[in-house]
Amino acid sequence: MGVSLSVGDVVEDFELLDETGTRRRLSEFLAKGPVVLFFYPAAMTSGCTAESCHFRDLAADFAAEGATRIGISRDQVDRQARFAQANQLGYPLLSDPDGTVARRLGARRTVAVGPFLTRRMTFVIDVDRSLLEVIHSETSMEAHADRALEALRSRPHP
């Protein structure tokens, strides 16, 4: 199991494939502004769809903060692509099939809950890779996007 990160910790750069099969790096997204990285257990399940669509519906709010939303799960690229298309998400979905990034950030479970090895967690990361907020909630599908926006709005602007 990975270490659990806390506010103020620095998030290591990583590279994963997005839903189009393109290699993407965290640093590439951070070059444009803060990142809201949310882990979800499985694409195309009811809770993950509700959570992902709430992030989609708040697109203008995240854009106003200059933030990029990124979903991440253990799903393969093709499943991420179907999930993104079916829900017209409009933001990248990264495939972490072996849970390497989830483990590094503390979003990997030590014991699976059903078939799910990934915790529902959100990390709000500032441009310097420092962690502004960590959001834990397995049951409130709207809490992740709502609290991420609060963290972005309350951060000191240069």
Q: What is the pLDDT of residues 27-47, one digit of tens each?
A: 999 999 999 999 888 888 877
- Residue 110 is predicted with a pLDDT of 67
* Per-residue tokens: 54: 């709430």
> Which structure tokens are listed for 100?
């390497």
**Residue 143 — pLDDT band, cuts 50, 70, 90?**
confident
pTM, two decimals, is 0.90
Separation between Cα atoms, residue 31 and residue 3, nearest integer Å: 25
pLDDT for position 5: 78
- Among the listed residues 16, 42, 48, 124, the single catalytic one is 48
pLDDT per position as a tens digit, 103-125: 888 877 666 655 566 777 899 99
90 φψ region: left (φ > 0), alpha (ψ -120 to 50), beta (else): left
State the Cα torsion 16-35-12-81 to the nearest 10°. Answer: -10
| 132-142 as b/e: b if 16+ CB within 10 A | bbbbeeeeebe
Residue 48 known to be catalytic = yes
Does residue 101 contact residue 74 with C-beta atoms inside 8 Å? no
The pLDDT, as a whole number, for residue 1 is 39
Res 138 pLDDT > 70: no
